[in-house]
Structure 1
């Protein structure tokens, strides 16, 4: 698996992110969807990675920098047909390594609370993420689960 920083220009990543956005809107009310579109993911505070096997896109993930010591996990998605192959875990560990190298001390995330998000909950819990309250500009929302992990 080749994990690399992506410029968000390719058709494959545009398609995967559209699937991601569509899924978020399918499983959460509009006001509780915090997924970012292509333009928002191009913000300078965000580093975006993709995982590939040859020319096949396996998944993606991003880190949004909130401060020198705090980053947020965004846009984690495994491409259809590649679930349960370790793609998300490999991306997560790769991003954690990159964050540590930049001096980030903790990574937080917001995810959904209902059944379609349970696999993500299990992944994050197995990688040491724990419950936390809302952070950055998030508010308490019954559709949002907040988690964080100390990197130090």
Structure 2
């Protein structure tokens, strides 16, 4: 049974998965177009991180950044390669959506890559109702980025 817990940024297993996420995002995106947060970014105020586990196995991570009282951004969604296809990403995404809604947000947005590597992520977000949108927050139009949003 999967369980979602607050993320512990001092846990070496969490740090390791986040390092893989950051490295792969940078390897699979044009220079200057990777927007994944590092540990310092995830420790910033206004960001909440969760981990998803099955027993003692870390399946994935996901974070929510508050952009304004009404608007949040999904950050650092990543499922361990060997754990993909088991529903962990959907469970984490549902958790983030529910948390945003319960926090009074009426809109949830995200940025992901436009390259083929990110196609499964875009499909996951679409399956939960996200649609493409213009850049939001501090983002600018970038052919290497896809911006998506969900009205809550």
TM exceeding 0.5:
yes
Structure 2 residue 92 is the aligned partner of structure 1 residue 94 = no
Structure 2 residue 24 is the aligned partner of structure 1 residue 23 = yes
The Cα of 1:6 is off from its aligned counterpart by: 1.3
Q: Measure the CA separation in 1 of the matches of 2:141 and 2:4.
A: 33
Report if the CA contact (8 A) 2:8-2:14 is conserved.
Answer: no
Residue ranges of structure 2 left out of the alignment (5+ in a row): none
The equivalent residue for 1:133 is: 134
Show structure 1 runs of 4+ deviating over 2 A. Answer: none
The Cα of 1:7 is off from its aligned counterpart by: 2.8
TM-score normalised to the size of structure 2? 0.97
Q: Measure the CA separation in 1 of the matches of 2:49 and 2:34.
A: 19
What's the CA shift string for 1:18-51, capped at 9, x where partnerless?
A: 1011101111122101010011101111000000
The equivalent residue for 1:84 is: 85
What's the CA shift string for 1:98-144, capped at 9, x where partnerless?
A: 11111010100000001000000110011000010000000000000
Residue ranges of structure 1 left out of the alignment (5+ in a row): none
Q: How many residues align?
A: 151
Cα RMSD (Å) of the superposition?
0.7
Report if the CA contact (8 A) 2:52-2:88 is conserved.
Answer: yes
TM-score normalised to the size of structure 1? 0.97
